[in-house]
């Protein structure tokens, strides 16, 4: 069994999809939560000065979505042809775009934060969630491929869990098809075990 080590900050963020992927696959991993005061020393040693970092037998992987796609391919959570893999990539990108809009609001300067919030609540969130929920309905409780859990389902569930913290409420609470996916992933043995022991977040706010 290879050794897996995930390094990320002390909150969910872009580390959570990687943690969820490993948990779902039922592999043991070192959950290295980097304290803010250790960050300045660690940053220059990283491939692009960023976390998450995944080390597999010491080999470094960075960039959240490429890591999840890679883990998907080794844990049999991909499609069976190029079009199916496109479907997976595409919905993961859609979820990532929504995450990015929310993160840009969350970390924005106070002077533009209120106007961005209105745009999020009235436009971006309902628009993206509508599209994602419609797709989950079409795929019958999966996000990319009907009848098969893929890395995009796991990625999305972890990202929605992170978004919950950023927004202060569960944005998918009324999306019954996304909820089905969440329920399925969160109740998988490895994820259940991970969630039971997951440390409480220490969110860092910059303003």
Q: Tell me which residues in 140-169 interact with a copy of itself (CB under 8 A).
A: none
Rounded to the nearest whole angstrom, what is the least distance from the CB of residue 29 to a copy of itself in the complex? 17
By beta-carbon proximity to a copy of itself, the closer residue of 127 and 192 is 127
Q: Which residue has the tokens 């569960």?
A: 170
According to DSSP, the residues that pair with 33 across neighbouring strands are: 8
Report residue 33: phi and psi, to 5°. Answer: -95, 115
Burial (Cβ within 10 Å: 0-12, 13-18, ≥19) of residue 47: exposed
Q: Is 80 among the residues that bind a copy of itself (CB under 8 A)?
A: no
By beta-carbon proximity to a copy of itself, the closer residue of 70 and 164 is 70
| Alpha carbon separation from 143 to 18, 56, 120, 165 (Å, rounded) | 18, 27, 22, 22
Q: Is 117 among the residues that bind a copy of itself (CB under 8 A)?
A: no
Sorted by sequence, the CB contacts under 8 Å of residue 168 that are 6+ apart come out as none
By beta-carbon proximity to a copy of itself, the closer residue of 4 and 194 is 4
Burial (Cβ within 10 Å: 0-12, 13-18, ≥19) of residue 153: buried
Task: State which of residues 109, 146, 147, 169 lies at the interface with a copy of itself (CB under 8 A).
Answer: 109
Rounded to the nearest whole angstrom, what is the least distance from the CB of residue 178 to a copy of itself in the complex? 16
Task: State which of residues 28, 93, 118, 174 lies at the interface with a copy of itself (CB under 8 A).
Answer: 93
User: Rounded to 5 degrees, what angle do the CA atoms 119, 123, 128 make?
Assistant: 125
Q: Are strands 30-34 and 4-9 parallel, antiparallel or unpaired?
A: parallel
Q: What is the contact mask toward a copy of itself in residues 184 to 203, using x (rule: CB under 8 A)?
A: --------------------
Give the separation between CA 10 and CA 34, rounded to whole angstroms.
Answer: 6
Rounded to the nearest whole angstrom, what is the least distance from the CB of residue 3 to a copy of itself in the complex? 16
Q: Tell me which residues in 28-67 interact with a copy of itself (CB under 8 A).
A: 47-49, 61-63, 65-67
Task: State which of residues 12, 19, 69, 99 lies at the interface with a copy of itself (CB under 8 A).
Answer: 69
By beta-carbon proximity to a copy of itself, the closer residue of 66 and 176 is 66
Decide: 108 and 100 in contact? Cβ < 8 Å.
no
State the residues that interact with a copy of itself by CB under 8 A: 47-49, 61-63, 65-67, 69-70, 73-74, 82-83, 85-86, 89-90, 93-94, 97, 109, 112, 127, 131
């Amino acid at each position: 069994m290879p050794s897996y080590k995930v390094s990320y900050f002390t909150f969910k963020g872009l580390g959570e999809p990687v943690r969820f992927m490993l948990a779902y696959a039922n592999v043991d991993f070192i959950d290295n939560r980097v304290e803010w005061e250790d960050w300045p020393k660690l940053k220059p040693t990283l491939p692009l000065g960023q976390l998450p970092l995944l080390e597999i037998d010491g080999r470094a992987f960075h960039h959240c979505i490429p890591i999840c796609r890679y883990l998907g391919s080794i844990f049999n959570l991909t499609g069976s042809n190029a079009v199916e893999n496109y479907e997976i990539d595409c919905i993961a990108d859609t979820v990532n775009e929504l995450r990015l809009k929310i993160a840009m609001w969350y970390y924005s300067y106070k002077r533009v934060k209120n106007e961005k919030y209105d745009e999020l609540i009235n436009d971006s969130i309902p628009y993206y969630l509508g599209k994602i929920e419609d797709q989950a309905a079409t795929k019958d409780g999966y996000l990319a491929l009907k009848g098969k859990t893929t890395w995009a389902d796991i990625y999305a569930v972890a990202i929605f869990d992170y978004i919950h913290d950023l927004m202060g409420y569960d944005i998918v609470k009324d999306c019954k098809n996304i909820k089905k996916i969440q329920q399925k992933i969160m109740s998988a043995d490895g994820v259940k075990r991970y969630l039971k022991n997951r440390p409480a977040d220490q969110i860092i706010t910059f303003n």
